Structure 1
Amino acid sequence: MFRFDETFRAEISGNWPALVVAFSCLLLGFSAPAFALPFVFSEVIAEFGWTREQATLLASAKYLTGAVAALLVGRFVDVMGVRSALALTIGIGGFALVSFLWVPNLTVYYLSGVMLGLAGPGAMVAVKVLVSRTFHASQGTAMGVALLGTSLGSVIVPLIVAALIAALGWRAGIAAMSLGIWFIALPMLYLGFFSRAIASIDVPRLGRKPTEEEKAERKAKNRASTQALLVLTRNPSFWLIAAAVFIAALVDQAFIQHQVLIFNDLGLSREMTALGISAIGLIGIACRVLIGNLLDRSSHKGLSFLYLTLTATALFAFLLVNPLIFFGFIILRAVGHAAVLLDTTVMTKHAFGLENYGTLIGIYTAIVSLGFAIGPWIMGRLYDMSGSYNSSFILFTVLPIIAAVLIWFMKPAYWIPVSPAVKASATEAGVIKP
């Protein structure tokens, strides 16, 4: 049953401007680079004669950098504030898209990936913190709404980038995808109406020079924060979440980065490939909100079930020539990707609450980014070794089952159950904060 009680409705209606900001940053600052990237691979293979492993290593360069960026941005958000983090990260993403105008070789190509790595995961960390600080009872659902930005992006970006590449060439077409960042997303962060929505939960530290007392207090808080994080690393849930989200991310991103090449192998044109990928995003529009609400209600057990859709995706990939199987593959990809986008946001808060949330999200986003980096490389490497994707499909059938088992044993100590009676009992027992 979909949750929509009075507390839930009040939280959403009172904080919707923050959702608009989060949605816009994910649509224009995150999705444009993320969903345009797979269309680059076939173009550079054709122009430079690179292998699939070499071409898709751009994604690995992006997400390896993103692992470091996520750690830095998580701390940056806690110290400097959400708005500064969003402006910096999506701005770098815009420059990265423009840089494709001048790619002459693999070195510069991978440097563009490094800039994308600084941008995408960093922006996602900042948005997760923005949503999680603003919404509590409806956190999963609110994050699902914000992630509609990535879902809508996954629908329109493939269609737009395919048309731009056909009209302008791949270099100018990719660069043109940055226009929404420069003219919509960045200005919105500083418009009074939306800026106030961020300021209400932000923790800006810029301005006057701090006093010695404030410096001492900050150092004491940092020491306490570090000690708290060390304690959390001794909690089994910390490592269960880390391992599960890493595995799920590895599988998910392998399919995302190779899906254009997989569809090309089926003989689909660039336009038909774009339609197929857009269909995944279109179905994902509903999936983001429904899955977010499911996680609000069922926490880690619901996520365990959702991870199994990644296994089903890999199985369906063997038979994509069948139209029904192809359609089922698209649905499962939408569900599985939505689960991977929401897992760290919700599980981190359910396991550890909001204390040090920005830093924890940075750590988990870094782990997810490592999975994102390794998955496409493994799939490309296995393809170049065997001449087909079958061996990677077998591997990616097994891995999500492991992730599902791991996340099942996580303990959601701060999860607020839907039932008021259960919530009151848990609060009285000290399991969750009042």
Structure 2
Amino acid sequence: MQSQTAIIEPNSGSKVLHWTMVIIAMCCLLISNGMVLTGLTAFDSAMLAEFSDWSRGDLKMRGLITLALTGLLAPFIGILIDRIGVKVLMMFGAVVLGASYYAYGMITDISHMYYIHAAFAVVLVACGLNVAVILVSNWFVTMRGTAIGIAVMGTSLGGAILAPLFGSWISEGMSWRDAFQMASAIPAVLFLIALFLVKNRPADCNKKPMGYETLKDSSDADVSSQGMEYIDAIKTKSFWAIALIAMFTFYTLLGLQANLVLHLQDLGFEIQSAAAGLAMLFTPALIGKFLFGLIADKVKGKRVLYGNLGLMLLGLIALYFAGKDTVLWTVAIIGFAWGGFYTLLQLNAVNNFGLKASGKLLGTITVLDALGGGLGIFLTGKFFDMYGSYQNAFMVFIVLVVISLGLIGFIKKHVD
């Protein structure tokens, strides 16, 4: 009886630490993704006004640089995640982010901006999506969908909070240079959180993951050691379906969010209203990420995936025809659908193959989704330079989501 008590005791107490890791992962994504991918778009019009010889395509090339390098680095960082955990990587990424933002306020040439966005790639792999998802997955077996859903809400919170905040600084008369340097203090919060609170896995503090007793071999409660080998996983159609869906949908969503403030200004919105318009994309996404993460713990199969992506397609079709009076409603629909799909995509990548090689698998997926996202940011800006509007870019979004709907049929679960 005493030995049984000893086994159960570490998992029978409060789950505060488990959920603390979820909140930390959410804060990590709020700061890293919010500052690298969404918040800085509030400065676009001010920068284009100062550097009048830059086109929108020139400006958005920065996103392609960041995400292409993210894709190249992701497999190597994935190996580090599997070997050393996420704590040190989070701290390192926070330092790079703060220094890069401070340097952003001193650029005088477009090449300076491109160098900084190369450094941003380090931020995204060291304290971005893969790190957050693996941290949460190590702590949860049951309720993993809900936990990941809450964690990835951070990417939407970054857009909903930081873009309007930075936009308000600009509208109140602060120069974009001063705003960048003021914002450079924000990553210090992430550094301190990682330093004092992050635990890579439950075993590091004599805990067990939530729901470990549901495992086939519950005596081995380290879920990070269970699942398919990397070489076996990448031989499956399911893996490449997930990777291609990630690539096509990241092209669409990042292409939209990176150009949304400028598109809203083209439609007649003032800068503060246009920056706040990002909240209409990311606030509904918050709801979608949590809601569909919760549903994924109750409803199995691919019906929810089809529903999410189908709704996103309807929103994109509506965006193609939308004017000033209706555009924000279409953006909200896209955000809500994307939020749910974003959560489910991460959950499928972890659940279908297990955590044994999750760092390398998510790193490989990131090669494609980062490339897709970077191309989406850059080419959407280039479409505007070529045609004077974003309509053709929106049509590309629609086609890619239709293809992604078809790819869902190839996804299946390979581990119990």
Shorter-chain TM-score tier: 0.7 to 0.9
Distance 1:40 1:202, change over 3 A: farther
Classify the secondary structure of the residue corresponding to 1:147.
Answer: helix
Q: Distance in 1 between matches of 2:200 and 2:143?
A: 18
**Pairing partner for 2:69 from 48, 65, 68:** 65
Q: Which amino acid aligns with 1:387?
A: G
Contact in 1 for aligned 2:85/2:200 (Cα 8 Å) = no
How much has 1:159 moved relative to structure 2? Answer: 1.7
CA distance in 2, matches of 1:33, 1:329: 24
- 1:418 maps to what in 2? none
Counterpart in the other structure of 1:362:
363
Tell me the residue number matched to 2:214.
Answer: none
Q: Are 1:249 and 1:340, in contact at CA under 8 Å, matched by a contact in 2?
A: no
Separation (CA, whole Å) in 1 of partners of 2:412 and 2:383: 36
Looking at structure 2, the residues matched to 106 and 201 of structure 1 have their Cα atoms a distance apart, in angstroms, of 47
Answering whether residue 39 of structure 2 is matched by residue 33 of structure 1, we say: no
CA distance in 2, matches of 1:58, 1:160: 22
Residue type at the aligned position of 2:308? L
- Equivalent position to 1:75, from 56, 72, 79: 79
Structure 1 309/326 Cα, relative in aligned 2: closer, same or farther at 3 Å? Answer: same
1:84 pairs, out of 63, 85, 88, with 88
TM-aligned CA deviation for residue 132 of structure 1: 1.0
Following TM superposition, by how much is the alpha carbon of 1:40 offset from its aligned partner in structure 2, in angstroms? 3.0
In structure 2, what is the equivalent of residue 283 of structure 1? 284
Partner residue in 1 for 2:320: 318
Check whether the contact 1:134–1:201 (CA below 8 A) recurs between aligned residues.
no
Q: Residue 108 and residue 411 in structure 1: after superposition, are their counterparts in 2 closer, same or farther (change >3 A)?
A: same
Distance 2:161 2:90 in 1: 22
Corresponding residue for 1:306? 308
> Which residue pairs with 1:97 in the alignment?
101
Q: Give the Cα–Cα distance (whole angstroms) in 2 for the partners of residues 78 and 201 of structure 1.
A: 15
Alignment equivalent of 2:56, drawn from 52, 55, 60: 52
Task: Indicate if the aligned counterparts of 2:153 and 2:289 stay in contact, CA closer than 8 A.
Answer: yes
The answer to whether the 8 Å contact 2:280/2:328 transfers is: no
TM-score between the two structures when normalised by the length of structure 1: 0.82
* Matched position secondary structure for 1:403: helix
* Alignment partner, residue 249 of structure 1: 250
Report the alpha carbon displacement of residue 384 of structure 1 after superposing the two structures with TM: 1.4
**CA gap 1:228/1:35 in 2 versus in 1, 3 angstroms:** same
| Cα 1:299/1:161, change in 2 over 3 Å | farther
Q: Aligned equivalents of 1:201 and 1:33: distance in 2?
A: 32
Greater shift in the superposed pair: 273-282 or 47-56: 273-282
Question: Partners of 2:144 and 2:14 in 1: how far apart?
Answer: 9
Question: What are the superposed Cα offsets for residues 59-89 of structure 1, whole Å, 9 maximum, x if unpaired?
Answer: 1111111112322221111112110111112
Q: Which amino acid aligns with 2:160?
A: V
| Number of aligned residue pairs | 381
Q: The residue matched to 2:414 in structure 1 has which SS?
A: coil
C-alpha change, 1:14 and 1:305, in structure 2 (3 Å) is: same
Q: CA distance change for structure 1 residues 331 and 90 in 2, over 3 Å: closer, same or farther?
A: same
Q: Give me the whole-angstrom Cα distance separating, in 1, the residues matched to 2:320 and 2:286.
A: 26
Q: Does 1:142 align with 2:113?
A: no
Q: What is the distance in 1 between the residues matched to 2:14 and 2:136?
A: 11
| Matched position secondary structure for 1:298 | coil
Pair 365,385 (structure 1): closer, same or farther in 2 beyond 3 Å: same
The aligned residue for residue 384 of structure 1 is 385
Residue by residue, what CA displacement relative to the aligned partner does 1:289-332 show, whole Å, maximum 9, x if unpaired? 01212333235332232122332232122333253x32431322
Give the CA deviation at 1:285. 2.4
**Matched residues, percent identical?**
21
Distance change (3 Å), C-alpha of 1:291 and 1:343:
same
Aligned-partner Cα distance in 2 for 1:280–1:381: 22
Deviates further, 298-307 or 353-362: 298-307
Q: Give the match for residue 133 of structure 2.
A: 128
Match of 1:265, as an amino acid? Answer: D
Q: Which runs of 5+ in 1 are unaligned?
A: 1-8, 204-223, 415-431
> What is the deviation of 1:375?
0.8
Separation in structure 2 between the aligned mates of residue 387 and residue 299 of structure 1, nearest angstrom: 43
Deviation at 1:241, TM superposition (A): 1.1
Does the C-alpha gap of structure 1 residues 11 and 298 become closer, same or farther in structure 2, counting only changes over 3 Å? farther
1:102, 1:266 → 2: CA distance? 31
User: For the structure 1 residues 201 and 28, does the alpha-carbon distance in structure 2 shift closer, same or farther, using more than 3 Å as the test?
Assistant: farther
1:343 deviation in Å? 4.2
* Maintained 8 Å contact 2:43/2:170: no
Structure 1 letter corresponding to 2:66: K
- Paired residue for 1:200, among 187, 199, 202? 202
Cα deviation, residue 121, structure 1? 4.0
For 2:203 and 2:375, locate their aligned partners in 1 and report how far apart those are by CA, in whole Å.
Answer: 35
Provide structure 2 residue ranges, at least 5 long, that are not aligned to the other structure: 1-11, 206-224
In structure 2, C-alpha distance between the alignment counterparts of 1:201 and 1:383, rounded to whole Å: 52
Instruction: Give 1:271 deviation, angstroms.
Output: 1.0
Residue 172 (structure 1) aligned to one of 164, 171, 178: 178
CA shift, 1:12, in A, is: 6.0
User: Per the alignment, do residues 386 and 299 of structure 1 end up closer, same or farther by CA in structure 2, a change over 3 Å counting?
Assistant: same
How far residue 369 of structure 1 moved from its aligned partner, in angstroms, is 0.7
Shift of 1:263: 0.4
TM-score where L is the length of structure 2: 0.85
Instruction: Find the counterpart in structure 1 of residue 273 from structure 2.
Output: 272
- Can you list the C-alpha shifts for 1:344-386, whole angstroms capped at 9, x where unaligned? 4211123211221111111112221111111122212222111
RMSD: 2.4
